[in-house]
Amino acid sequence: MNSQDQFKFSTQVITIPILFVFVIWFVYWVEIRFSLNFTKFGVLPRSLSGLKGIVFSPFIHSDTKHLFNNSIPLVVLTASLVYFYKRVYAEILFFGSILTGLFTWIIAREAYHIGASGVVYLLFSFVFFSGIIKKHYQLIAVSLAVIFLYGSMVWYVLPIKEGISWEGHLSGFIIGLIFAFLYRKRGIVNEKYQFEQTDFDLLFDEEGNFNPPEQEEQPEE
């Protein structure tokens, strides 16, 4: 995909992030409205019944603060993913979320792990490292904006606060880094331009050495 096609705005850049956030808020509303508790659908590590949380946990949140903390970065980072990776954003989001949940299921403490935080860290890590790996100035600008807005998130991949699934954060962060490397040749790429050779270029060989043209011998008068 060339840069001109890549930077054509698509309504998906807005609709996909908003739809994602709408779904997690709707699930929370259903819990409140009907006095339900979906925590049991979260990731329960190393338990067969806990495997269902790999799919369902990103849509389940404990309270409104939990929702607010995830909603804004979800909108910003998902929009960045869709904008720069129009053709592959769906597989990055789907497989990245599944692998994040699976890794959490393997390494996490024995407790129910819920929330879209793992997906947030997946997107944060992917967008940031993708810009660095690809060395593309638009992506680097986004990466710098991401680290400026959400740089403090990095500390939460460590067990520094009680009651937070740092294992889910760490899982998303690692999977995002891996995906940034795997997708380094997909999505937006730097274009290489081929310039026409001029007479000035002919004065130098392939190694850059000066190579003056041979002078034609003038006939004697």
Per-residue pLDDT tens for 174-213?
Answer: 999 999 999 988 877 654 444 444 554 555 555 555 565 5
Within 40-88, residue ranges assigned H as helices are 53-56, 64-84
SS3 state at 47:
coil
Residues facing 210 on adjacent strands: 204
Q: What pLDDT does 200 receive?
A: 46
- Residue 79 CB: number of other CB atoms within 10 A? 18
Q: Which residue has the higher pLDDT, 53 or 155?
A: 53
37-82 pLDDT, tens digit each? 999 999 999 999 999 999 999 999 999 998 998 998 899 999 999 9
| pLDDT over 70 percentage in the chain | 81
111 vs 105: CA distance, rounded Å: 10
- DSSP-derived letter for residue 158 is S
157 within 8 A of 173, measured Cβ to Cβ: yes
Pairwise CA distance, residues 202 & 206, whole Å: 10
SS3 22: helix
For 3-182, the fitting CATH number among 1.10.10.410, 1.20.1540.10, 1.10.1740.10, 3.40.640.10 is 1.20.1540.10
With beta carbons less than 8 A apart as the criterion, state whether 123 and 150 touch. Answer: no
Q: How large is the C-alpha radius of gyration of the chain?
A: 25
Residue 196 has a pLDDT of: 46
| Core vs surface per residue 118-156: b (16+ CB within 10 A) or e | bbbbbbbbbbbbbbebbebeebeebbeebbeebeebeeb
Q: What is the pLDDT of residues 98-133, one digit of tens each?
A: 999 999 999 999 999 999 999 999 999 999 899 888
User: What does the alpha-carbon distance between residue 132 and residue 141 come to, in Å, rounded to a whole number?
Assistant: 10
The one-letter code for the residue type at 138 is Q
Share of the chain above pLDDT 90, in %: 55
